[in-house]
Amino acid sequence: MTSVFFLFPWIQREMEIFILLSTLLLLSRPSLADTNEILGLQCSGSDNATLENQYQINLNNLQDSLAANGPVHNGFYTATAGKDAYMIFGLTQCRGDISPTDCATCIRNSTMVRGCSTSKNVTIWLKWCLLRYSNISFFGVWDQSAMALTNDTNFEDSNVVSKGLNFMNELAATAPEPPLMFQTAVLDVGPSGKRYGMAQCSRDISRSDCGKCFSYLLVTFRTTIGNKRGWEIYGASCSMWYHDYQFYFNFSIPVNEGAVQISNERVAIGLMIPVLVFLLSSL
């Protein structure tokens, strides 16, 4: 079973909420590096975005700008379009290991995801990139919305559980430091193989908030991920990944800090049907 755990603080504040998950086949790839897919959307309720022609025009311009500029700015870009009541703020970010070409396709694809088209406040997660836009500026603000994906029955070896968590906590502490606030790391757990970690912050937030954002994810989803052999947490402001195979691409992996130890092992993870679990009780 794959479970998806949501923590959207937003839910508390706004009545009209529309969360939609598309094809979710996460953790289902037996290949070394993963392929892209749409993971989920978060949006405000219907707030007349489609009724406002000027808003739509501005949104198209915004998306064009993000798609054109994101890939050539190390996979991160913010832009605005329009003015006054129709002003839109947009942000895009690609995963740090994704090539500019794949980044461009991912951003372009993210702009074509349907399901939130009547909303003004939208976050779209694909595996390789993120798209956010809103009629209110959110740049530089740490947003705690996040979802965790894991295979419920794929448990971590008991002697690796705490090593794995320590490993990810260390990554959470160091990943805010590199210029792109993106880092990968490899943990050698002897007979149990290797563990691969990756962490990335949205580049608009401060290093300090980046560190807090990672810690927040690890604490908040502790019970979900704690004993799992593979998991991914996607947030609006930061994301973390943990697997027992190298799921990220080789290129643009930082050459420092021991990040480039490669495992030849291939670990097949079976195809799975997603189950959605809304973790509202913890809000």
Ligand X SMILES: *[C@@H]1O[C@H](CO)[C@@H](O)[C@H](O)[C@H]1NC(C)=O
**Taking CB under 6 A as the rule, does residue 58 contact ligand X?**
no
For residues 127 to 146, the per-residue mask of contacts with ligand X, x marking binding by CB under 6 A and - elsewhere, is: -------xxx-x----x-x-
Residues 67/176, Cβ–Cβ less than 8 Å: no
Stretch that binds ligand X, among 176-184, 192-200, 201-209, 266-274 (CB under 6 A): 266-274
Instruction: Name which of 177 and 193 has its Cβ closer to ligand X.
Output: 193
Residue of 57, 72, 173, 262 interacting with ligand X (CB under 6 A): 262
Cα distances (Å, whole numbers) of residue 159 to 191, 199, 227, 239:
11, 23, 10, 25
Widest distance between CA atoms in the chain: 60
Torsion over CA of 22, 98, 59 and 124, rounded to 10 degrees? Answer: 30
Is residue 219 helix, strand or coil?
helix
Tokens read off for 267: 């670990």
How many whole angstroms separate alpha carbon 148 and alpha carbon 273? 15
Q: How many H-runs (helices) and E-runs (strands) does the chain carry?
A: 6, 13
For residues 69 to 108, the per-residue mask of contacts with ligand X, x marking binding by CB under 6 A and - elsewhere, is: ----------------x----------------x--xx--
Question: Binders of ligand X among 2-21, rule CB under 6 A?
Answer: 10
Residue of 21, 25, 36, 115 interacting with ligand X (CB under 6 A): 36
**Taking CB under 6 A as the rule, does residue 120 contact ligand X?**
yes
Instruction: Name which of 191 and 270 has its Cβ closer to ligand X.
Output: 270
How many whole angstroms separate alpha carbon 256 and alpha carbon 260? 8
Residue of 3, 42, 93, 150 interacting with ligand X (CB under 6 A): 42
Instruction: Name which of 138 and 214 has its Cβ closer to ligand X.
Output: 138
Question: Binders of ligand X among 224-243, rule CB under 6 A?
Answer: 236
CB of 170 to ligand X, least distance (A): 22
Token pair 């195979």 is found at 245
- Tell how strand 17-20 and strand 38-44 pair up: antiparallel
* CA atoms 105, 195, 230, 204: torsion sign: negative
CB of 179 to ligand X, least distance (A): 23
How many whole angstroms separate alpha carbon 97 and alpha carbon 94? 8
- Binding residues for ligand X, total number by CB under 6 A: 36
Q: Which stretches of the chain bind ligand X, using CB under 6 A?
A: 1, 10, 32-33, 36, 42, 44, 47-48, 51, 85, 102, 105-106, 109, 120-121, 123, 134-136, 138, 143, 145, 151, 153-154, 236, 246, 249-250, 262, 264, 270-272
